Chains A and B, each alone.
Chain A
Amino acid sequence: MKILVCISHVPDTTSKINFTDGDTKFDTNGVQFVINPNDEFGLTRAMWFKEKQGASVTIVNVGGPETEPTLRKALAIGADEAIRINATPTDGFFVAKELAKVVSEGNYDLVIAGRESIDYNGGMVPGMLATFTDANFVNMCIGLEIEGTSATAIREIDGGKETISTNLPLVVGCQKGIVEEKDLRIPNMRGIMMARKKQLTVLEPSTSESHTKIASFEKPAAKGAVKLVDKDNLDELISLLHNEAKVI
């Protein structure tokens, strides 16, 4: 089984978010980047398929050279090879188009992507990628088993779970649950040493087509001051909610 895991290079969750260029660009100064957490859950599941079922695992990213440390970390965790499509990921459509070309040319049986990246939270790529490659698609995937060409996937739905039987080729948009946080792997020294020798292929993009453009970013309003009201003073609470907050 050939598995392709899509890896986004995203700011660490503790990063301070600022914008530049008239609030149209994310300010990367001083920001640490990590593997998108949803993708890391998927990569960890792919490693399981590699070790238990002999699958090969390729990782792919659409991004500039600055994303290579993130790819190298995924190789150190155990992926076999990496592909970087040398382009700025302008929108979900563009990224899905570029990935679709890699998927088709590489004849992957299973594509695992995070259901969304935690930077722009578009959530579009897995679905579009399945459409462009004519593959089956399961989103919000929290469990995945493969046997031969059959797949059983568990999907999170409102208030419960849904178990789906489908076939390869398959694209899954995964999230925490496909593996748990305790299953995530820290690259060990052996893995880091091996990652030095693994292939990282850089491909030029085939199109520059994108359909959306960021007009501007805006941060949520800063939290206001908090007023504490004694639990026995409900009249004051109601008065504040009515007269000051004007919510009742």
Chain B
Amino acid sequence: MKPDLFEAPDYYQLDDLLSEEHKLVRDAARSWVKKDISPIIEDYAQKAEFPNQIINGLAEIGAFGPYIPEKYGGAGLDQISYGLIMQEIERGDSGVRSTASVQSSLVMYPIYKYGTEEQRKKYLPKLASGAFMGCFGLTEPNHGSNPGGMETKFKDMGDYYLLNGAKMWISNAPFADIAVVWAKNEEGRIYGLLVERGMEGFSTPETHNKWSLRASATGELIFDNVKVPKENLLPNKSGLGAPLGCLDSARFGIAWGAIGAAMDCYDTALRYSKERIQFDKPIGATQLQQKKLAEMITEITKAQLLAWRLGVLRNEGKATTAQISMAKRNNVEMAINIAREARQMLGGMGITGEYSIMRHMMNLESVITYEGTHDIHLLITGADITGLPAFK
């Protein structure tokens, strides 16, 4: 692996839109990624192993629930800070960012928003420090884009709930201490349940042979007559809107994260284009390579503006699900296109693990699929502007 020479592009001086604290938070995350992620990540991705040793560092830079209030162990930061942390982590690797996104938006967020005060106090500080790792079970083998069709269900047995069903494609599942699981009650209403590792009948088999997010652990959640204590139900919101609220938060983080992956690919390709000599001149001096680079920085700049504005709207509590969908969809597609173009600019070198580009490119195939596929986000925008849902 080459030394990490990353220099972040800021073509429109967007740093001027950030506060002093935003930049401090971002620069700390950036330095940590250079120090603790870049030197090891290629090796772990090649081995298809999650680097457990980074959990403490992720907690230290505030990657776990940065916007959760301080009294629950969070940092009480705003949404832009959360976005910037996700951007920097994904600059290192989308898989590592996925671990942090899940912990923050899909585990801590629902406990904070939909949980009781006891649940908040019991789980949030441990999740913020990384002492507990969490995962989120919504997607099922037969229900991806249509989560409302879920088959996982729970039954009120008087003293406890009896949970049965299975979840699939779950980031962090193989090592998670707790799972936020979405299941239907006997009336068909969706609720969140906190399932802890060690509960009888609960298992988390790992998903192997992924070509993407190889440094992130993915698995299934299987519930075979799991007795879940009644105090583990998240009482304050039910229905599909509850898990979708979590996805809004996670998708917002992804819209920022994808910029990080794109920045890394652009920066690598730009540097390479100035060093690689063909026909007695750097390839960066040729028009076709300049076209690629110029389009990349244009798209990155547009994505940065979209993410920043969405962050302002989130801070003001005004961002809609459809606005978040637009940013997630646009920015991930932007990143995957840049990764593919950058891969070509590096020729054969772009194929090897010596450079990060192909790892980003393969990671982004998952990112463009999870948390709402690229096509589903298009339909969300379509439904929003026409008022005519086209899902069915």
Q: Quick check: A193 and B70 within 8 Å, CB to CB?
A: yes
Quote the shortest CB–CB distance from A221 to chain B (angstroms): 20
Q: Quick check: B20 and A186 within 8 Å, CB to CB?
A: no
Quote the shortest CB–CB distance from A183 to chain B (angstroms): 12
Chain A interface residue count, CB cutoff 8 Å, equals 17
Residues of chain A contacted by B35 (CB below 8 angstroms): 186
Q: Which of B337-369 contact A (CB under 8 A)?
A: none
Quote the shortest CB–CB distance from A223 to chain B (angstroms): 14
Contact indicator per residue, chain B 9-20, by CB within 8 Å of chain A (1) or not (0):
010010100001
State which of A69, A189, A195 has its C-beta within 8 Å of the C-beta of B61. A189
- A196 interface contact, C-beta 8 A: yes
CA distance A193 to B73 in the complex (A): 12
- A188 interface contact, C-beta 8 A: yes
Quote the shortest CB–CB distance from A188 to chain B (angstroms): 4
Main secondary structure of the interface of A (DSSP, over half): helix
Main secondary structure of the interface of B (DSSP, over half): helix
Q: Quick check: B66 and A189 within 8 Å, CB to CB?
A: yes
Residue of chain B at shortest CB distance from A68 = B20
Quote the shortest CB–CB distance from A225 to chain B (angstroms): 12
Q: Quick check: A189 and B13 within 8 Å, CB to CB?
A: no
CA distance A19 to B31 in the complex (A): 29
Quote the shortest CB–CB distance from B208 to chain A (angstroms): 34
- B7 interface contact, C-beta 8 A: yes
Q: Quick check: A30 and B13 within 8 Å, CB to CB?
A: yes
Q: Which of A170-194 contact B (CB under 8 A)?
A: 186-190, 192-193
Residue of chain A at shortest CB distance from B31 = A186
Quote the shortest CB–CB distance from A134 to chain B (angstroms): 37
Q: Quick check: B62 and A192 within 8 Å, CB to CB?
A: yes
Residues of chain A contacted by B32 (CB below 8 angstroms): 186
- A72 interface contact, C-beta 8 A: yes
Contact indicator per residue, chain A 68-97, by CB within 8 Å of chain B (1) or not (0):
110011001000000000000000000000
CA distance A187 to B21 in the complex (A): 12
CA distance A195 to B28 in the complex (A): 13
**A-B pairs with the 8 shortest C-beta distances?**
A189-B62, A188-B60, A186-B31, A69-B20, A187-B28, A189-B75, A186-B32, A186-B28
